[in-house]
Amino acid sequence: MRLEEKDNSLPVSDKRADFGKTNKERSTPSMRLWVAAVALALLFLIGPVRLIREMQVMEPSAAYTASEVCPLSVKLKPGKDSGLSDVTFFHTDSYRNKSIQLWSDAVRIPTSNFDDLADVRVDPRWNIFYNFSAFLVESFPAVAAATCIEKVNVHGLVFTLEGSNKSLRPLVLAGHQDVVPVPDETASRWTYPPFEGFFDGDFLWGRGASDCKNNVIGIFEALEALLDKGFKPRRTIIIALGFDEETGGAQGAAKLGQHLLSKLGSKSVFMLVDEGGLGVQERYGSRFALPSTGEKGSADVVIELDAIGGHSSVPPRHTAIGIAAELITEIEKDEYPLNVSPESPYFHQLQCEARWSKHMDKTLRSNILKLQSDSRAKKKAIEALSQDITSKVLMSTTQAIDIVHGGFKINALPEKVTIQINHRISYEHSIDKLKERLQGVVSKIADKYSLDVDAFGASVKEQKQSKGKFTVYTSSELSPAPMTTTVNNPSWDLLAGSIRFVFEDFAEYPSSVESTDPEVFVSPSCMTGNTDTRYYWNLTDNIYRFTPIRQDQRLNPHAVDERVSLTGHIEGVAFFYTLIQNVDEYDGN
């Protein structure tokens, strides 16, 4: 592979005067005299206390030097086989026509995943997935012929292309076949029918065009193109496709993870790339690619209130629904604290944006670079960042009261009320702390209304004259994902280098964004939601969630008029085509 070195220094406008100078240069007599004069003047004008504060603002971060913050990855173009490395053919009309046909045909298969689907071996609604697996085999004959195809728990798919060097750990490319359903009441609002796979000349419209048949078909297109050109991998390549990601992956990726773990062993995979991340987008005047190196955790909490019923013509001061409403108000009254630390991928995203962005506010840039070394700067940075809702949720545990059930008849007092709360756990928080907080809030309301409390498997309160009981438990728990390091990690360098090659040298940007610096800065990021990767943690330490597309080229995933541009899709195909080769050319493990 060809390595294209770039200058890793800060943009000229963002360099401080002493960056890049030697200690000797910083300590010349004239410089010492100048610093002393400035210090005396400041001392006289603003006093000792303010002088200290001003010096703290002027100093660069004590935690980092310029070269340590988010080093720029080297651009990687596959170089061992010039016949394979060329990606320009993806731009031709003939390939674009072929690609849109394959991708459109995939969208036309309505692999909808409903919340009430039963076991995969029982519920006939799963049978549509037979059509999709058959489509993959028929549409990508070179992949089908070269790989060993395994079916796991009926519809989970594993395509294994054996490499010639068994000492090299495999590359796993993951995705999911299922899509979120289209409710009958919203189908008429679509510009084109959601499972027609309509191409308007620019965009492919349809459910799953973005999430995640764009990725799945892109992976198969890339491998098919390589095999058609005679590609023979040294490193084994595995494609793993779940079928129920949109409802948690318990029957699909969970079984795939177990299968691959038993077959390959713990930490047996070199790197795994699944859907997700934040694509390629402009931030603060610079172009960033944001693969996710972690995910927030999650906890679904159920609170049940059992109360004494009766006729509604003789009601108590507060019915069970009224008490539940008060509990909801109390829960929502306080948000979880905001924090950001090196434990979270979002911290490292902020460092990258502070170093490489052209137009970030200077004060915000300074405060971000001092997140570890200056508590006052950290407080100011968090305050500024929290004005954006996406940034805010990445710095805290969130709560969303999504489902409430209560009552069954208009003239009967409700005897049971159920509240369901979805939490997303930040890296700086924990499920145990969340439980402790909720138990305290529930106990407060329970004392007010003489209610017993059972919380998370333990009896917490028993009233002398109980009028009912709160039962609190989690229906699901998931801690934040292990964070993949980007420091001295060859898998990150291969991923980032492939991204830079495709989105700097292959992607064609419209004239409206040509003024943006063409350089793509690849930064870690954090996902607020969860992907199938939760079931692959034991396979590798190198897990990346990245849908290779410019964010403005995909619209409305999971919503009415979901669509993705063909140009964006083709760039994704080129990415997988490049990544597979770059990883295969790497000799390490």
> Averaged over 106-135, what is the pLDDT?
98
Percent of the chain at pLDDT > 70 equals 88
Q: How far apart are alpha carbons 278 and 557 in whole angstroms?
A: 13
Q: What are the contacts of 406-409 at 24+ separation with CB within 8 A?
A: 406/320, 406/321, 406/324, 407/321
User: What pLDDT is stored for residue 42 in this prediction?
Assistant: 43
Residue 478, beta-bridge partner list: 298
| Selected residue with higher pLDDT from 3 and 270 | 270
Tell me: the pLDDT tens digits for 183-227? 999 999 999 999 999 999 999 999 999 999 999 999 999 999 999
pLDDT surpassing 70 at residue 574: yes
Indicate the fold that domain 296-478 takes in CATH: Alpha-Beta Plaits (3.30.70)
How far does the chain reach from its first CA to its final CA, in angstroms? 17
β-bridge pairing 452-455 and 458-461: antiparallel
> Averaged over 556-580, what is the pLDDT?
98
- For residue 11, what pLDDT band results from cuts at 50, 70 and 90? very low
- For residue 85, what pLDDT band results from cuts at 50, 70 and 90? very high
User: What pLDDT is stored for residue 512 in this prediction?
Assistant: 59
Per-residue DSSP letter, 358: S
CA separation (Å) from 440 to 322, 323, 327, 492, 509? 19, 16, 11, 43, 53
User: What pLDDT is stored for residue 414 in this prediction?
Assistant: 97
User: What pLDDT is stored for residue 516 in this prediction?
Assistant: 72
Q: Please, are residues 432 and 335 in contact by the beta-carbon 8 Å criterion?
A: no
Question: What residue ranges in 296-428 does DSSP mark as E strands?
Answer: 297-307, 398-406, 416-425
Q: Comparing 35-44, 346-355, 371-380, which segment has the lowest mean pLDDT?
A: 35-44
Give the tokens for residue 331. Answer: 């829960």
- 552 among the known binding-site residues? no
User: What pLDDT is stored for residue 51 in this prediction?
Assistant: 32
Q: How far apart are alpha carbons 70 and 520 in whole angstroms?
A: 13
Tell me: the pLDDT tens digits for 476-508? 999 999 999 999 999 999 999 999 999 999 999
Residue type, 104: S
CA dihedral over 456, 457, 460, 465, signed as positive or negative: positive
User: What pLDDT is stored for residue 4 in this prediction?
Assistant: 43
Q: How far apart are alpha carbons 535 and 249 in whole angstroms?
A: 8
Q: Please, are residues 347 and 341 in contact by the beta-carbon 8 Å criterion?
A: yes
Reduce the DSSP state of residue 68 to 3 states and report it: coil
Residue 32: partners with Cβ closer than 8 Å, 6 or more residues away: none
pLDDT surpassing 80 at residue 452: yes
pLDDT surpassing 90 at residue 472: yes
Give the tokens for residue 48. Answer: 């000792």
Reduce the DSSP state of residue 336 to 3 states and report it: coil
pLDDT surpassing 50 at residue 33: no
Q: Please, are residues 247 and 515 in contact by the beta-carbon 8 Å criterion?
A: no
Q: Do you find a cis peptide bond into 526, omega within 30 degrees of 0?
A: no
Angle between helices 213-228 and 93-107 (to 10 degrees): 140
What is the CATH architecture assignment of 89-275+532-585? 3-Layer(aba) Sandwich (3.40)
β-bridge pairing 75-77 and 2-4: antiparallel
- 176 among the known binding-site residues? yes
Q: Please, are residues 349 and 291 in contact by the beta-carbon 8 Å criterion?
A: no
- 274 among the known binding-site residues? yes
pLDDT surpassing 50 at residue 117: yes
Residue 299, beta-bridge partner list: 423, 477
Query: Is residue 245 annotated as part of the catalytic site, yes or no?
Result: yes
Please tell me which residue in 14, 224, 245, 571 is annotated as part of the active site: 245
- 558 among the known binding-site residues? yes
User: What pLDDT is stored for residue 27 in this prediction?
Assistant: 42
Percent of the chain at pLDDT > 90 equals 85
User: Considering the entire predicted model, what is its pTM?
Assistant: 0.88
User: What pLDDT is stored for residue 514 in this prediction?
Assistant: 55
CA dihedral 426, 428, 430, 435 (to 10 degrees): -80
Tell me: the pLDDT tens digits for 238-282? 999 999 999 999 999 999 999 999 999 999 999 999 999 999 999
Reduce the DSSP state of residue 401 to 3 states and report it: strand
- For residue 82, what pLDDT band results from cuts at 50, 70 and 90? confident
Nearest CA-CA partner of 338 in 301, 295, 388, 373: 388
User: What pLDDT is stored for residue 244 in this prediction?
Assistant: 98
- The mean predicted confidence, pLDDT, of the chain is 90
Q: How far apart are alpha carbons 183 and 217 in whole angstroms?
A: 25
Q: How far apart are alpha carbons 349 and 415 in whole angstroms?
A: 49
Q: How far apart are alpha carbons 567 and 544 in whole angstroms?
A: 23
